[in-house]
Structure 1
């Protein structure tokens, strides 16, 4: 046999081998990971001769859902019939009287039949999602695929969720998403065994739910004239001149609720008060304390306008929540309660009188009064209140559930007080944050929430007692859409982080393994997403560049969150290719360089990522630095770490931040040192434009008493300023950067000055 024939033979053997073993690989690929799973021998062959049965009317809808799901890719018109016994070539859905959790299930796949058992239809539905993942990835195609049969590996699964509340949030106020997208969103939650959908329907940028008693809420409050381009707090923000509008009719909301109910998902509405209410005031300005016209906000952030704690306002809210309660069968209504600026309350004679009348001494107590009044309204509608963790301030309403978003502290406090808690800390499970620091990531709000961060988050802090931990009923991811305008962008931000959240909330803690999830099961899930035509992020495969000063050398490291990709890099700012240097070990940086890196993923046969970091080994690294004005962050480290932030997306951790003050730094070189150049970084890279200083001045001295002006720049521009000096020997170098301090923007009347590096050469 010649070499060509041998290679052809080996390839055919490998193909047969992988086809035969594919079902067994599929059995181990289920996400979220089941509680117990045992592989058997052989497989069940799904053909056009197969049948689907159910033993009880409760199980019938799930059996019919499976038949509809299989019809599109297989072309099979599988009969769905009622039967108590399981016969050959049948997938049998059975309601059984077993001591199971209401969401638990058993899934048994034999060569002759499949049995799905649960105490409730919900358990059967979650079992169907596992059965779906046991089928080849092509089953997700909505177009017919010509196959004789579809193989499902023999396996026995016993499974139940760790948490009863497994949620995901969607903000439709900042950018409106139509009913078709919301339904797809619910489908994705169902596939991942998440059982709660929080619908954020109102905010400063738009009111999205029809209220019959107050039609102007959608007629006026549902539209803004334009949206900020870039970020709200950017230097010289621009607007796009494109109106954003949209709302859901009551019929549409009922349609979505019924769609979710069929997928065993509870829909919780959020009507955010008393802050984040600009859209309300645009329609009904009389509900504020100042009763002046307010616009639907074209920018994002926190605004001063707040509902006034008057009786007519509570009457307004009573009617709004009454109509909401009539629409939504959920046991909960989310009332927001977050980010309330109390300035207008403190200036209001009405509020001052209220404080005297009710013996309230702080604005936090006014907020507590307001929230308790609203909670009483909601409880009178036979609903439970959920609020963001700010509602703890000043005293919390009885029986309120706390959703802890500013970290875990609010949830911990609430659990200790005996309140039920839903953890939603922005640091771990907010999906509007960046997924990597690569510059090819789409625009996000801020921060960094890697896939690994989501997976490794545990909603129950270990230092709480068993009883306190039981008050934490679950967690919820969030997708805020300030900078997410399209469904494709939303998909990118959700996937695959949604799968990591699902496993965190469903799977037994002892069963979780990042290496098992990321190395073995995630790659298969990504292929399934591809079949579903989901725009999935591959951010965890992208390079992560870090640096440190070690033994007076600036050393760079390049890693990836998911092990395996080969990394290629350059040091001159050019784009890495397969012909570039391959990363093997830490790199000693000997001169000013822009390090760029990309990862090669074998399974995708492509280079991914665009990691960049500008590094500069300069004279001030390791030298003593003294700041006249305090700065946020570890200033000495940030200003002298040898790296500039302008070619990565914005992160506050990169900067020494001067609030309402100037940079005034003195560097001590120990001995007279020849200085030729000072570089000052003060801006971010893509997606953010930070405020530059108005003036930069460099001075030198040998005694810190007599200072010589060496260079000055007024109105500096760009991400950094380079000041060239006449070569001068000095022991002390003073760098002053003047903060603009004042702003015409009501949101940020005082500007922070961000400085990321003082490079001296």
Structure 2
């Protein structure tokens, strides 16, 4: 055989072999993972002359959506026509009467045709999302792709969701997002087979929906003059000079609702009352108990201004909820009910009178009275009420659905009471939390919710029996936007955690596998997100540094959420590269060291992360430490764990916290020991400036009766104070840090004092 012909033959043979094994590489690549999927050799080749058919008018819209989705990257103008039977080189969307769940579907890909079967248009739509993922990732491009084979592996899929309620929330009050972004958000939910979008439209920082009867809600309540710079709890916070404004007209809301309806997503509005109502009261201060002017909040958190439980307030809310109900076709309205500070109620003569009239003994019962009154308003509009789990306090309204966010306890209580429950615990599925402890993570509110945390969360607690678990109708992720100002930042916080949530809510519990998801399917999702130009977080590939202390010393370990990721590190504070030391076992730390690490993510093709931790194997490790304040004793170990916290983002778990007292710690070195320095770590934590102590003192003793002053710092600046002194031999060290006795706010008697380490050298 001539050489050039042999080369052509070899290329042809390799191509045939590639096409033969392609389906096996494609096995189980769909996320969320289907109930069952059986792959065969072969593929269906989508081409310019493929036809798209449907058998019923209700299936026509899905068939047309599929053709529209294919057009930009392929350039194919595929005809969409009604047919009775499946024919060669066609994709057939078929409504059938077989016993399939309302959202279930069957997808059959043969070499010569594709059949999509479901008993509802919604089921066909979810099937289309699976078919979309069977195509190469390039199908996600909205620009033409040349020289691309659009091959779909031969497979039979039977699939249906585990939960009927699969939701995702977006806060547009703290930062406003335009209609174009809301539509993209809905597209993302649809791609991941989520079927509920909760639109958090009102809060202290802005009212975002037009209400005809009360125009000042948007002319006044939709704008704040500036926003806190940094974290809202920073020491001496600053503000920018940029107004945040915006709201949705009723026409825009209708536009979004039509868009969501076409994607089989229910949009639930949230109008949060009676707390988180500063924007309402800025517009209509007469609705408060004090009836004094207030401003739309420029900081974040929980505030004292609340709606007053008066008849004029309920009349106001009746009008608001009526306009909302007329606009939104959803069966639900979310009324909030969370984080209500009751101080203004307790100071109000009107509320005291109300409590006497209705035999209300506690502020929680006043809240229950308020929520029940609002629930009746909503129920009279033929809507069901959803509220955060605080509405359980003092007695809950009949037929209210409980959204459990402060953990799972509220959901468990509600299920035992016979209320339907939507789980939304902040520890697992709040996407405003950090995704790793690396320093290259963007600013977030607090806490750590990694990809694996989301994936392994189960909405049905084991301490409920089967009957009670049936009241858990699903779960909902949340994206609060205090520190999320831009769409790109929102994308980073959503992806890929949104895919993990989707699998948690769609796939059966027994069908889930973290190794399969993280190692086999997540890399494919990254390629798909890349084609969609989504700013995807690679946090699950980033390293995490931890340490332990044993008889041999202080040891550092470096791990990643996803197994078998190569990690490279340095011990001199320099940035790791592929030429740095590769991690393979815990590292013995023999002197104060800043350990830095990066990992190599093959799915991305680069080193990722910036993990840092300063470790100190000092003399006081494992030694007895006594705190003068008994309440802090439980956190004393954090003062002697060999870690300084300033290399990390803020986490309360790093600190011994003194809310109402000074630090006074006595360290027993077990025997007289030469010491020359004490280092105190405080006021640390990336993205959150904590409050420094007023003064630090170090004293030494050999009998705990006579104390010698060794050093003091009268102007601590942080994040670490190193108090050095002439070498002295002592058994006991007393370290005192004086808490600030007064903040800038005269209502706060003392500021919290956070101490992360007392290192003795």
Shift of 1:631: 4.4
Out of 623-632 and 102-111, give the one that drifted further: 623-632
Structure 2 counterpart SS, 1:610? strand
> TM-score scaled by structure 1?
0.97
- The correspondence of residues 580-729 of structure 1 with structure 2, limited to 5 A, is 580-631=580-631, 634-729=634-729
Shift of 1:741: 3.5
> TM-score scaled by structure 2?
0.97
Q: Which runs of 4+ in 1 moved over 3 A?
A: 6-24, 630-634, 745-750
Distance in 1 of aligned mates of 2:486 and 2:566:
32
* Structure 1 residues 12 and 717: CA distance shift in structure 2, 3 A: farther
* Structure 1 residues 284 and 760: CA distance shift in structure 2, 3 A: same
Aligned to 2:263: 263
Shift of 1:525: 0.7
Distance in 2 of aligned mates of 1:203 and 1:52:
46
Distance in 2 of aligned mates of 1:87 and 1:15:
27
Q: Provide Cα deviations, 1:358-403, integer angstroms capped at 9, x if missing partner.
A: 0001000000000000000000100000000000000000000000
Structure 2 counterpart SS, 1:521? helix
Distance in 1 of aligned mates of 2:260 and 2:21:
36
Shift of 1:37: 0.7
Distance in 2 of aligned mates of 1:220 and 1:14:
68
Q: Provide Cα deviations, 1:49-72, integer angstroms capped at 9, x if missing partner.
A: 100111000100000000000011
Instruction: Determine if contact 1:496/1:537 at 8 Å carries over to the other structure.
Output: yes
Tell me if 1:448 matches 2:448: yes
Distance in 2 of aligned mates of 1:712 and 1:220:
52
Aligned to 1:212: 212
Distance in 1 of aligned mates of 2:435 and 2:148:
41
* Structure 1 residues 523 and 362: CA distance shift in structure 2, 3 A: same
Aligned to 1:3: none
Structure 2 counterpart SS, 1:727? strand
Instruction: Determine if contact 1:633/1:653 at 8 Å carries over to the other structure.
Output: no
Q: Provide Cα deviations, 1:469-506, integer angstroms capped at 9, x if missing partner.
A: 00000000000000000000000000000000000000
Distance in 2 of aligned mates of 1:486 and 1:29:
31
**RMSD of the TM alignment (CA)?**
1.7
Distance in 2 of aligned mates of 1:537 and 1:15:
34
Distance in 2 of aligned mates of 1:626 and 1:9:
80
Shift of 1:603: 3.6
* Structure 1 residues 349 and 84: CA distance shift in structure 2, 3 A: same
Distance in 1 of aligned mates of 2:720 and 2:347:
42
Instruction: Determine if contact 1:303/1:747 at 8 Å carries over to the other structure.
Output: no
Instruction: Determine if contact 1:226/1:243 at 8 Å carries over to the other structure.
Output: yes
Distance in 2 of aligned mates of 1:274 and 1:556:
48
Aligned to 1:79: 79
Shift of 1:732: 1.0
Distance in 2 of aligned mates of 1:131 and 1:200:
32
Aligned to 1:192: 192
Shift of 1:636: 2.2
Distance in 2 of aligned mates of 1:448 and 1:241:
30
Out of 626-635 and 277-286, give the one that drifted further: 626-635
Shift of 1:605: 2.5
Q: Provide Cα deviations, 1:236-288, integer angstroms capped at 9, x if missing partner.
A: 11111110000000000000011000000000000000000010111011110
Aligned to 2:388: 388
Structure 2 gaps of 5+ residues are 1-5
Tell me if 1:558 matches 2:544: no
Distance in 1 of aligned mates of 2:129 and 2:689:
44
* Structure 1 residues 633 and 706: CA distance shift in structure 2, 3 A: closer
Distance in 2 of aligned mates of 1:731 and 1:404:
51
Aligned to 1:404: 404
Out of 503-512 and 677-686, give the one that drifted further: 677-686
Shift of 1:100: 1.2
* Structure 1 residues 15 and 597: CA distance shift in structure 2, 3 A: farther
Q: Provide Cα deviations, 1:571-627, integer angstroms capped at 9, x if missing partner.
A: 111111111111111000000000000011234321110000000001111111111
Distance in 2 of aligned mates of 1:609 and 1:466:
43
Structure 2 counterpart SS, 1:98? coil
Distance in 1 of aligned mates of 2:634 and 2:441:
27
Shift of 1:704: 1.2
* Structure 1 residues 569 and 332: CA distance shift in structure 2, 3 A: same
Structure 1 gaps of 5+ residues are 1-5
Instruction: Determine if contact 1:23/1:136 at 8 Å carries over to the other structure.
Output: no
Instruction: Determine if contact 2:20/2:42 at 8 Å carries over to the other structure.
Output: no
Aligned to 2:3: none
Aligned to 1:293: 293
Instruction: Determine if contact 1:44/1:109 at 8 Å carries over to the other structure.
Output: yes
Distance in 2 of aligned mates of 1:325 and 1:334:
11
Instruction: Determine if contact 2:106/2:157 at 8 Å carries over to the other structure.
Output: yes
Tell me if 1:108 matches 2:108: yes
Shift of 1:224: 0.4
Aligned to 1:64: 64
Distance in 2 of aligned mates of 1:529 and 1:632:
46
Aligned to 1:488: 488
Aligned to 1:359: 359
Q: Provide Cα deviations, 1:288-317, integer angstroms capped at 9, x if missing partner.
A: 000011110000000001100000000000
Out of 711-720 and 408-417, give the one that drifted further: 711-720
Aligned to 1:228: 228
Instruction: Determine if contact 2:651/2:685 at 8 Å carries over to the other structure.
Output: no
Distance in 1 of aligned mates of 2:31 and 2:378:
37
Shift of 1:88: 0.7
Distance in 1 of aligned mates of 2:638 and 2:268:
43
Shift of 1:673: 1.1
Shift of 1:426: 0.3
Out of 589-598 and 713-722, give the one that drifted further: 713-722
